[in-house]
Amino acid sequence: MGSGWSSEEERQPLLGSGLGPGPGAAWRSQEAAAAALPETAPGPGRVYGRRWLVLLLFSLLAFAQGLVWNTWGPIQNSARQAYGFSSWDIALLVLWGPIGFLPCFAFMWLLDKRGLRVTVLLTSFLMVLGTGLRCVPVSDLMLKRSVINGGQTILSRLCGSLVLNLLMFVSQTWFSADERATATAIASMLSYLGGACAFLVGPLVVPAPNGTSPLLASENSRAHIKDLIETVLYAEFGFVCLIFSATLAYFPPRPPLPPSVAAASQRLSYRRSFCRLLSNLRFLMIALAYAIPFGVFAGWSGVLDLILTPVHVSQVDAGWIGFWSIVGGCVVGISIARFADFIRGMLKLILLLLFSGATLSSTWFTLSCLNSITHLPLTTVTLYASCILLGVFLNSSIPIFFELFVETVYPVPEGITCGVVTFLSNIFMGVLLFFLTFYHTELSWFNWCLPGSCLLSLLLILCFRESYDRLYLDVVVSV
């Protein structure tokens, strides 16, 4: 992976065993290695205009994946009415997300061995199968719930691990060093924007049965809600089919020439990559700083309607809160990533600022929901403001984290690095949602997990010692 222009099966680090960017490598320790590189390393790369088309197709795929995964959370009251879902069923539909990440290591191997085009086509094909399975017309409600769970579990969310594993690989393969963070931000933010659109589309198309109260309604009302939910499912299926057709028609595996020195350099093999990751304490530290808060935040976002129902927030309002919190994070995230491309070597400082804001905003939201004790105002304005700020601070840090992961463990392939991190994130998300399936009657404990995880991440980032091995290679050798 990362060496698609090389035919060697066993990939070795470009800097050699004695000069490679091992744990704790700093800028000043690499100058001797850099001096020996120009004779053997590739020269400056070339970028192609088609890279933006490739990024657009992949971003649409990521958008659709986020949309499909978050179908049920924003309309949980309507789903209860139409299909007889319980709170446990809604939590289980979200829980299939982290369960779907269990085979991600096989997908890492596939990406490493078969390359970008094959992996992207498999991802889009799995999404077609998954969304199509959810649309199978079944009259029996018990069987219908099983079919929906099958589509959500076996197919739809399996591709989630593929999409996240591919993020850094796409930017590394097609974009130059001063565009990589921006490309990563666009693709990752579009994935979250898909989840945000689910907060918007679902509640606007599918009405709540009776405000936020899942009371039994007439048979005609239940049938009407069910028809509208199926309309959403069919629309998602059609959208995914269009994306699959587009990627099948055009999605090249790589450009004719690499865009940077790092893109053309040889990488570690699949087995050696895992050994390097598991033995790198700095990587484990920054991986936990990402995995814990984002695992909590993903689970919390997936059942946001369930959390806000006890404080008398309607399904539509909960959808708008979720939508704007993610959209704000997407806009700010792309802007910060573009800024990071210009001021290289400041990723840790950016993360410290973002997680300081995330800790404060999540604490504000949690205390506001306990207004009977804290006496803080609980209004639509405070809920919107605290949730939007939380989404802005957390979501905008995603591309910064991904860039820092790759810089820390280079020359480990990008897909393997991001796959391990997202697997850890989904473990924390799965554990949290597992407890939610048993403790879903009172959810204040779930809110407290947010500021606790953000504070822990802030401390880990503060203790982390950064290095920029890949960036230094690009800058020195290109010169």
| Helix, strand, coil percentages, rounded to 5, for the chain | 75, 0, 25
> d(Cα 388, Cα 327) in Å, to the nearest integer?
8
> d(Cα 334, Cα 338) in Å, to the nearest integer?
6
Highest averaged pLDDT of the listed ranges 50-64, 81-95, 249-263: 50-64
Query: How many C-beta atoms surround the C-beta of residue 204 within 10 A?
Result: 15
What pLDDT does 443 receive?
A: 67
Q: Contact at 8 Å (CB) between 254 and 4?
A: yes
Whether omega before 255 lies within 30 degrees of 0, making that bond cis, reads: no
Q: How confident is the model at residue 3 (pLDDT cuts 50, 70, 90)?
A: very low
The residue to which tokens 């995230």 are assigned: 333
Burial call 279-294: b when 16+ CB within 10 Å, e when fewer? ebebbbebbbbbbbbb
> d(Cα 153, Cα 255) in Å, to the nearest integer?
34
Lowest model confidence (mean pLDDT) among 38-52, 130-144, 393-407 = 38-52
Q: Which residue has the higher pLDDT, 36 or 179?
A: 179
Q: How confident is the model at residue 315 (pLDDT cuts 50, 70, 90)?
A: low
Give the pLDDT confidence of 165-204 residue by residue, as tens digits. Answer: 788 889 888 998 888 889 988 988 888 888 888 877 888 8
For helices 104-114 and 270-279, what crossing angle results, to 10°?
130
What pLDDT does 23 receive?
A: 38
Q: Contact at 8 Å (CB) between 146 and 236?
A: no
Q: Which domains does the chain have, with CATH numbers?
A: 48-208+218-254 (1.20.1250.20), 270-466 (1.20.1250.20)
Q: How confident is the model at residue 326 (pLDDT cuts 50, 70, 90)?
A: confident
CB proximity list for 126: less than 8 A, separation 6 or greater: 155, 156, 158, 159, 162
> d(Cα 201, Cα 190) in Å, to the nearest integer?
16
Q: Contact at 8 Å (CB) between 257 and 46?
A: yes
The residue to which tokens 């997936």 are assigned: 302
What pLDDT does 220 receive?
A: 53
Q: Contact at 8 Å (CB) between 1 and 414?
A: yes
Q: Contact at 8 Å (CB) between 170 and 251?
A: no
Backbone Cα Rg of the chain: 22
What pLDDT does 191 receive?
A: 83
How confident is the prediction for the chain on average, in pLDDT? 77
Mean pLDDT for the stretch of residues 149-177: 75
> pTM score, two decimals?
0.74
Q: Token digits for 86?
A: 């319980």
What pLDDT does 342 receive?
A: 83
What pLDDT does 218 receive?
A: 56
Q: Token digits for 107?
A: 């997908």
Mean pLDDT for the stretch of residues 48-63: 92
Query: How many C-beta atoms surround the C-beta of residue 205 within 10 A?
Result: 14
Highest averaged pLDDT of the listed ranges 49-53, 79-83, 312-316: 49-53
CA distances from 471 to 8, 134, 341, 410, 477 (A): 24, 44, 11, 10, 10
Mean pLDDT for the stretch of residues 406-426: 84
pLDDT above 70 (res 241): yes
Q: CA 270: distance to chain centroid? A: 22
Lowest model confidence (mean pLDDT) among 27-36, 85-94, 180-189 = 27-36
- Sign for the pseudo-dihedral over CA of 336, 337, 339, 345: positive
Torsion angle of the four alpha carbons 305, 307, 312, 316, in this order, in degrees rounded to the nearest 10: -10
Q: How confident is the model at residue 290 (pLDDT cuts 50, 70, 90)?
A: very high
Q: Token digits for 76?
A: 């949980």
Q: CA 371: distance to chain centroid? A: 32
What pLDDT does 198 receive?
A: 83
Lowest model confidence (mean pLDDT) among 222-236, 303-317, 353-367 = 303-317
